[in-house]
Structure 1
């Protein structure tokens, strides 16, 4: 079997208004997989999804045939369509030379219309090897021009309402199941309307509470209870406890006319579904209008959809096939990994029940002017300015007030040009969960909304799906990490144990890796296997699984089609690795615990450099801490982006790079052939300025990323979790509690750090300004305010010393700070602060004298 050549989807949407920047050159990581502290409102997620799906959205006429032909054949779909026509669910008009004639059921014209729809469906279906391709049906000999116009009787009229649409879709399915051609087939799923349309659908991606509210969902038949019977049809009502993202088969949006807007909207729901159901290989959704139905599928390579215009016979046939497949097919047809077992169990969790303030916005232009008005350059030296800010922080700690030092004016430089993108305010981004209005549902509010009203929660009982056995070897214990994205690696980390060793918890990582980078990954793992183990490097062990490819398995392209020059999307394969279980940074015990862990990760990176490996994705998620005292405190993990590397003593200057001839120049001229391969790797908030600017990635850039981990850490948390919470987390393997949202000590990034996650260019500008001796005072003022607010007067002076010393180091040598230099600063701080102040260490382990370990 092979596919019809994919057609690029509709022209990309117009550029977003000021306030959101969408890159024309996408990152290789999943742009919508944002950190908890980053802005999570609808506008930011929409912009991130546009970036993530850049050049990866396609129209696929044969999508329904590919997915459902083995279960609902074209012939069966034709018979169902004919039966629905006979049941007066549809009408057909014959248009001859512009004149419309009614077609009665059971007539010769009705049979010709059905045949025409069937033949056209065959033409647009998947091609099978060894079978002659169906030809396009010929026009009638009796007239010059014949067309068949179809319409669905009783289809809800505008304005299209959710419940009316759901009732109609279920009526189509129920009527079809009553036909003789569908005898003995029982529905497994039904369409439903969310129980609460004013708040986020339960178990959506926390903390994305702003707008994750699908208009309709598809739930298992067990989620419904029978109320009454009318004639031969049974009336079903969904149970409230089954309504959550772990149970949905697909999500949907209804629009009056703009089906493209509906497709863009369901992308967010698909993202949330994939995160809530990490066992899915792909996710599906629907966008419905009066005239058009879109069925969408998203996998690690992007998104494809079939667009069905309900006035055409072929589209009606495919619409019927899709509805029957939604109701009848097993979970594997809609993306469930067959090697992961699932069970349904009860869960008690908290959901929002109160209303909160609606999102409002400030125009991007106004924010830009506000930022520029307070962005004058400095004449004082960097060191003096920074220590002045630190002095302000210390005095503020004593008086419980904050004081900002206004920067004086001076001449502009490269950094001053960059600083225009920085917002001076240190306010924090908040979210709201107000129901969107129908008359402006597609107008994204771009700037952070004002603080939301306090949310009211209630405890509810939910029925949820959870894994049981994975790949026949591992028993599920919990979820450690799951990414929120459609395209990309879609990394998921489970806490599991092998059946043979139930007392030993390990981490099992699943990721959809780019096939083009497999040789690089294999080479890195081979280097690691041939060199001695280092205590600060967490080496993964590959788990052998049946090959699963986005293009060759899910989308059913042949190898020759995948290798073709005009195949513009990347192929990804599922790779599974097992590693030792370690403690994520968010479960840190104290500031000293974090600094020791960061120091260990830097030592691990230094070892990798010695054995000729460059990590290229240094971020907080890839630094882990010891589970118990006595283990190496910090480790570096995740080698998805790592490559073999020969270090230079000094990086090549940008000026010299301009004169160097790039290798394989002919290949770069052919860069538009085949899928896009970005040269920049990493996670934007942690990427170095040079990498963000498109320069060569060196180990110095990774060291700079460690510095950004340190800075962002102190504005992402408000101290450690309670000792009891840390103890409980360690005992359960640090697994996430489903529905609990983000931890209580996590906070939103200050607005001044918002550009670090908006785009590569904005992040490069903001970070260059931070490292500039002339413009860093504004950052240190803002950081000082936030550190005092988050960490209190006991810790903020010590934290200020650490941040300032590291900043001065990177200002003095912005492009070539060595491992030894960075470790020296950390060691100096640890020597000056060997233990946290009393009451500032929540380590759940104590020494012989009953004191918490440092």
Structure 2
């Protein structure tokens, strides 16, 4: 199910709950504000969650529920000094995700194990011992070189056992120590630690284990971000946390050997890890002197011989302490190191090192959230606080990189390292000490694995290919006041931002035809279908959950279809052709949901073929790309943990293609607006006729019928497209045939749909007398069917029906009431009709709803869904408060006096809907009360609204 949030997720809108958290300002939405002060305080605005927070948050925190006060943040120069006051914001979703994360002992292995195996890490460990990067003691005494192979083998055994049983042998007390020069005693030096260990491991493997590197070269490099500047990392999602990560992994392309002479001030010098190794560990180069002097040596890949891959360790708990095969390999390697009998490095290793060494400058135009491959957080001692921060940074990364299948996060303290992985099903964590044998092996696997990982191994979905783009560093606007934020020049000594930020965005989505399930018509003989994405229309990406993303896309055509289009539109024979526009929706469906289990989409498709459903826009194609347990987690290795106390919900990646339409936000006249609402009411009735309810009626799920192009005469548009080689190729975007609906609009998106429950309890309230006063009472539901639903519910909170918020099951009446809320909230959201730009990206609007509306629509400070329901019932269920708020705060188009006839129509239409959905009751004393009219039929409501439209259609409505 879709996580219901306290904010409206509006198409073409910046979501309200992502209002920027800047300078400690309180937001308008429901949040958990967590503030790690030096006093270790946690402050939560939701008092009901304090007990739960005490159970899941790091030790040593004091939980309070007072709202935080703004504390000025002064500049501090020491990169290792943790500020006295930093505020990290956890919204409801992230709080719950952290509460349902689980420990995965083999997380490093099943994320990076294909890159760096345990035997390879053991061999690298032996090399690092010889170079002084590591030392090892046994029972308080330092080991001599002859004993190192046995110690490395023991570390490998510990890592292998821990990955299976989360335990380590206790028979031998090895104590490992990293060199002090690595800064391991300070969490702020984590990026140096990862870079140096990763590069040192690459040096070692490049000489001793070339075959296991598989010609991999470093593609990732970590760098520290300035914590003096209190600004967010550029191009973060709206409402992102105002503090950047402590360090990030960036593509190696962000580091260059020379600066562009036209923008010299946009670079910062960053010494490579090789320079740090030379400065701290000169002895490291003794066994590798030929490697580092080989930059001018011409070699071929066949001019070297690598050692054979070591055999896998046996991991049964009752195995012998030492693996004979690995121990033999380590002893042989020790002899080779002692006698300096190592092979000449291959060209691909020397070239990679040369490039890495010469990349001395960080191009600051590449330092932005869309380029972050892995965010990292370092703390002196508190791994729990690092975890909270890291999860928040990962959440922001996920929101600006819609091509991610999963994301990773690094955590570090002076004693521990940690890895987080989050995908659609949940969050895994793995934390280990650095001074143990297992910790040494895992640290090497983690550092080298991150450095050598490909984009897909870091979470990039293989269906997406990217293109270069750029954007100016426009300061974000305050989401509440819409005013530009003050310049931070007084808080930082950092240079001014670059003129432009350069990053990636989705270019193509390529889908395998073998995974295409709808419709059942024949497909082309080609193996793949490719879509060019013109722009991202809507992004509801999140760390965990559905992660729905929608693009305006065009399908590439070939064969006879291409020839036909080329002839009709006089297109050159060598020019690529794409047809559209289509809405390409990519999301992760809960396989336990009714829409997925019962294949409701096919039910609706059949009803449409039979002529029952006419006002619902259905997809033309659907791809099922695989379950998350298979395509991401590979549960053969990472089995489901036991005794978690919660269920891990598996999800399937699904892509849906449908005709790209205008939405309600782009209506041109009042007649078109209400025509679409009438279409929605009819769609609800049609779904009811086949036993379905929509359960997600909202702004974004209402489409308009007419495809009114901004340039109606241009049937073919020329665009430049990068097909992957960096060169722009001219291509043609051809318009598809229009897809019309029987009225001005209707519904789409059945992802949350369900069958109508066999028995829906009535929610009819009644008046009772208590103590001489009349009181409205709602009967308590009982039995299995009357159980209250959990707070994870379908739909968007502002549009949820009152009975549903109060715990009743979804119903047809709930869809009707949601439609009423759509109309009502439109009057605070859409002013004069937007200019027609279809199919280009529409304007983005940040609706500023009045406080009286925010209290029930955005859930300001509301702890539960039930309280939201109570607020909404009070607002609409008594008297005419809802009309008064509209009269005082409604936008000009709906309440202005410039067109009295139009204003009267809006009021008449709204009152007609209210009278159709509620029954009025006048108590002996007090205001009138309104009860839900449970038995109302959708076609009756549609007919009532049609009568109003007919009356006013000649009075300025159109």
TM-score (norm 2): 0.63
Aligned to 1:695: 808
Aligned to 1:550: 628
2: CA distance between counterparts of 1:81 and 1:157?
17
Aligned to 2:531: 475
1:346 to 458, 464, 469: 469
Give secondary structure in 1 for the equivalent of 2:124: helix
CA 718–19 in structure 1, closer or farther in 2 if over 3 Å, else same: farther
1: CA distance between counterparts of 2:50 and 2:828?
26
CA 659–771 in structure 1, closer or farther in 2 if over 3 Å, else same: closer
CA 718–76 in structure 1, closer or farther in 2 if over 3 Å, else same: farther
> Contact 1:113–1:148 (CA<8 Å) still a contact in 2?
no
Does residue 127 of structure 2 align to residue 48 of structure 1? no
Does residue 927 of structure 2 align to residue 823 of structure 1? no
CA 551–526 in structure 1, closer or farther in 2 if over 3 Å, else same: same
Please report how far the alpha carbon of residue 689 of structure 1 lies from its aligned counterpart in structure 2 after TM superposition.
Answer: 1.9
Aligned to 2:119: 75
2: CA distance between counterparts of 1:814 and 1:647?
23
> Contact 2:694–2:750 (CA<8 Å) still a contact in 1?
yes
1:609 to 680, 688, 695: 688
Equivalences for 1:406-555 in 2 at 5 Å? 460-471=500-511, 472-478=528-534, 479-500=536-557, 502-517=578-593, 521-531=597-607, 532-533=610-611, 534-547=613-626, 549-555=627-633
> Contact 2:174–2:437 (CA<8 Å) still a contact in 1?
no
Does residue 217 of structure 2 align to residue 186 of structure 1? yes
Aligned to 2:163: 125
Aligned to 1:315: 439
1:757 to 847, 850, 858: 858
CA 503–209 in structure 1, closer or farther in 2 if over 3 Å, else same: same
2:784 to 662, 666, 679: 662
Does residue 417 of structure 2 align to residue 289 of structure 1? no
Aligned to 1:238: 362
1: CA distance between counterparts of 2:382 and 2:944?
57
CA 766–25 in structure 1, closer or farther in 2 if over 3 Å, else same: farther
Please report how far the alpha carbon of residue 619 of structure 1 lies from its aligned counterpart in structure 2 after TM superposition.
Answer: 1.8
CA 698–770 in structure 1, closer or farther in 2 if over 3 Å, else same: same
Does residue 321 of structure 2 align to residue 264 of structure 1? no
Equivalences for 1:667-746 in 2 at 5 Å? 680-721=793-834, 723=835, 726-727=836-837, 730-732=838-840, 734=841, 743-746=843-846
1: CA distance between counterparts of 2:421 and 2:167?
27
Please report how far the alpha carbon of residue 307 of structure 1 lies from its aligned counterpart in structure 2 after TM superposition.
Answer: 0.9
Aligned to 2:887: 784
Which digits, 9 at most, give the CA deviation of each residue in 1:814-849, with x for residues without a partner?
322542454355435534553796xxx9xxxxxxxx
> Contact 2:584–2:655 (CA<8 Å) still a contact in 1?
yes
Aligned length: 682
2:177 to 140, 150, 165: 150
Does residue 164 of structure 2 align to residue 59 of structure 1? no
1: CA distance between counterparts of 2:175 and 2:136?
7
Give secondary structure in 1 for the equivalent of 2:752: coil
1: CA distance between counterparts of 2:423 and 2:412?
21
Aligned to 1:215: 246
Equivalences for 1:800-815 in 2 at 5 Å? 802-803=909-910, 806-807=913-914, 809-812=916-919, 814-815=931-932
Gap regions ≥5 residues in structure 1: 1-12, 27-40, 127-132, 141-145, 360-426, 439-455, 737-742, 842-853
Aligned to 1:748: 848
1: CA distance between counterparts of 2:174 and 2:759?
70
Aligned to 2:44: 17
Give secondary structure in 2 for the equivalent of 1:274: helix
Aligned to 1:203: 235
Give secondary structure in 2 for the equivalent of 1:794: coil
> Contact 1:507–1:578 (CA<8 Å) still a contact in 2?
yes
Please report how far the alpha carbon of residue 473 of structure 1 lies from its aligned counterpart in structure 2 after TM superposition.
Answer: 0.3
Which digits, 9 at most, give the CA deviation of each residue in 1:582-633, with x for residues without a partner?
1133333344433322221221111111111111122222212235257542
Does residue 641 of structure 2 align to residue 641 of structure 1? no
Aligned to 1:327: 451
Aligned to 2:461: 337
Aligned to 1:773: 878
> Contact 2:472–2:500 (CA<8 Å) still a contact in 1?
yes
> Contact 2:696–2:796 (CA<8 Å) still a contact in 1?
yes
Aligned to 1:571: 650
CA 646–148 in structure 1, closer or farther in 2 if over 3 Å, else same: closer
1: CA distance between counterparts of 2:415 and 2:391?
20
Equivalences for 1:270-281 in 2 at 5 Å? 270-281=394-405
> Contact 1:647–1:699 (CA<8 Å) still a contact in 2?
no
2: CA distance between counterparts of 1:334 and 1:299?
12
1: CA distance between counterparts of 2:440 and 2:455?
24
> Contact 2:540–2:547 (CA<8 Å) still a contact in 1?
yes
1:595 to 674, 677, 686: 674
Give secondary structure in 2 for the equivalent of 1:467: strand
TM-score (norm 1): 0.70
Which digits, 9 at most, give the CA deviation of each residue in 1:55-74, with x for residues without a partner?
52011111111112121101
Please report how far the alpha carbon of residue 104 of structure 1 lies from its aligned counterpart in structure 2 after TM superposition.
Answer: 5.4
Please report how far the alpha carbon of residue 677 of structure 1 lies from its aligned counterpart in structure 2 after TM superposition.
Answer: 8.2
Aligned to 1:170: 195
Give secondary structure in 2 for the equivalent of 1:510: strand
2: CA distance between counterparts of 1:22 and 1:508?
38
Please report how far the alpha carbon of residue 542 of structure 1 lies from its aligned counterpart in structure 2 after TM superposition.
Answer: 4.6
The answer to which of 695-704 and 223-232 deviates more is: 223-232
The answer to which of 490-499 and 808-817 deviates more is: 808-817
Aligned Cα root-mean-square deviation (Å): 4.2
Which digits, 9 at most, give the CA deviation of each residue in 1:134-178, with x for residues without a partner?
9953514xxxxx3524345224478754xx443443222222222
> Contact 1:294–1:308 (CA<8 Å) still a contact in 2?
yes
1: CA distance between counterparts of 2:393 and 2:97?
15
Gap regions ≥5 residues in structure 2: 1-35, 54-69, 71-85, 259-270, 279-291, 293-356, 512-527, 562-577, 709-739, 766-776, 920-929
> Contact 1:692–1:763 (CA<8 Å) still a contact in 2?
yes
Give secondary structure in 2 for the equivalent of 1:330: coil
Q: Higher RCO, 1 or 2 (CA under 8 Å, sep at least 6)?
A: 1
Give secondary structure in 1 for the equivalent of 2:445: helix
